[in-house]
Structure 1
Amino acid sequence: MSADQEQRTIRCLVGKVGLDGHDRGAHVIARAFRDAGFEVIYSGLHKAPDEVVQAAVQEDVDVLGISILSGAHNTLVPKIMDGLEEYDALDDTLVLVGGIIPDEDRDDLLDLGVAQIFGPGASMDEIIEYVEENVPERE
């Protein structure tokens, strides 16, 4: 992380998309991000992909963490990535996916531009370190 980034607070949106009502993991990561000094916005439950994209763009976030456990990741994540690209925000946004993602689906999500996928049991320290080391630089 550059000196400028150390002085700038990292802004994160933790988004829950689709009908997935299980948000314990989203709350855990939001709290860990906050405790690490990040500014955190939580989308709330049952958001459509376009609502998450709008919030990410309007809030000018550095990191978008998508929490998904419903199995609809192959439908919902591409819509979010397309939306970010439509707003020309994909290069400026570190997109992370957290939840239960089968091994056979991981490469497809990474090919879409998802930076990293964290499954159950991922270390909060590992996730925070990943964000700090990979957050896009801003001018």
Structure 2
Amino acid sequence: MAPPVRVLVAKPGLDGHDRGAKLVARALRDAGFEVVFTGIRRRVDDIAATAVQEDVALVGLSILSGAHLALTRRTLEALRAAGADDIPVVVGGTIPSGDVDRLYEAGAAAVFPTGTALDALVAEIRALTAAPETLSTSEE
């Protein structure tokens, strides 16, 4: 049996509201993921270092402060600087619809605005973290 996929859920910046991040972390855990939760008010460099140290397959940022564009860009830059630019970053929280495409352009692998159904979020995270060999179909 394969070990569970490890994901990191982080609250970058000064945002102190963590209820949504905890709900997402619990939904991912209940779906079989191993979740590393950093807690609130984390620096992007610390998030990147934790992602590398914990050998995670994905970083999820929960942002309600309105600084989602800057914090996502800075997190992606920090991962690049740490040699971990292969780790996908997803963003959730209070994301205005006009910023969704901008987050994708910045490099986000997925965007989950407030109100995204947890089962849809889990399915997208599962797809983003699936090993390439599990994505191909075998012809037997």
When the two structures are superposed, what TM-score results if normalisation uses the length of structure 1? Answer: 0.88
Structure 2 unaligned runs (5+)? 134-140
Structure-2 separation of matches of 1:22 and 1:35: 22
Match of 2:137 in 1: none
* In 1: Cα distance, 2:34 partner to 2:48 partner: 18
* Alignment pair present for 1:111 and 2:105: yes
The alpha-carbon deviation at position 47 of structure 1 amounts to: 0.5
For structure 1, the 5+ residue unaligned runs are 1-5
Residue of structure 2 in register with 1:128 after alignment: 122
CA displacement 1:15-59 (0-9 Å, x = unmatched): 001111110000000000110110011101111111111111111
Report % sequence identity: 44
User: Quick check: 1:94–1:136 contact (8 Å CA) kept in 2?
Assistant: no
* Aligned equivalent of 1:25, options 14, 17, 20: 20
Picking from 15, 23, 26, the partner of 2:10 is 15
Rounded to whole Å, the distance in 2 between the matches of 1:110 and 1:136 is 20
Task: Tell which structure's C-alpha radius of gyration is larger.
Answer: 2
Q: How far is the alpha carbon of 1:70 from its aligned partner?
A: 0.1
> Once superposed, what is the RMSD of the aligned Cα atoms?
1.7
Cross-structure match for 2:92 = 98
Number of paired residues? 133
The TM-score, its normalising length taken from structure 2, stands at: 0.88
Deviates more, 1:72-81 or 1:10-19: 72-81
Which residue number corresponds to residue 3 of structure 1? none
